[in-house]
Amino acid sequence: MKSNMSVYCVHPISGCSADEVFTYYDEIKGLLDPYYRVLTPMYGKGELRTELEFKASGYEDDPLANNHSIFERDRWMVEQSDIILANLTGATRASIGSMFELAWASILGKYVVVVMEKQNVHRHAFVLQAADVIFEDAETAVEYLKRLSLGEF
């Protein structure tokens, strides 16, 4: 049974291929969609499916994927969401965009679920304090969110 709540999914993007990024977001959406309205930063960016490696900036020719539109749309989606799921597993460098999304979530009082290993590059006091709950693997986090939507806690 789908709840009325929404979840915004955060995951590092810069340095990843379009295939990696879109596959991740398609999979996480498929897992959570029966339970939540799922928002991801890749909405409206289908034209970027051919990127060999996402850049941190420089998409100024695209009105839907330029620096300003990405920043504002992602912030708006965090504002619209009840829960933020930040999966930082496997990150090899800090994701500035993900950190902004966590900061917005914290400022807005959103419920934040973080997924990261004990040795993750994002293991920092600010991330630890922004998180309401931290898991070391995505499967456990997704199961937790499913149970949460069903009121099993």
**pLDDT for residue 66:** 78
For each successive 10 residues of the chain (153 residues), what is the average pLDDT? 91 83 92 96 58 54 76 95 97 93 98 97 96 98 96 81
Decide if 32 is inside a domain.
yes
Decide if 92 is inside a domain.
yes
Decide if 131 is inside a domain.
yes
**pLDDT for residue 16:** 77
Assign residue 15 the CATH number of its domain. Answer: 3.40.50.450
Decide if 1 is inside a domain.
no
The tokens for 98 are 């993900």
Decide if 88 is inside a domain.
yes
Q: Which residue matches tokens 């499913």?
A: 146
Q: Are 148 and 116 in contact (CB under 8 A)?
A: no
Decide if 125 is inside a domain.
yes
By residue range, what is the domain housing residue 24? 6-149
Pairing of strands 111-115, 133-135: parallel
Q: pTM value?
A: 0.88
**pLDDT for residue 55:** 52
What DSSP state is assigned to residue 48? G
Q: What's the CA gap between 10 and 28, in Å, rounded?
A: 10
The number of domains in the chain is: 1
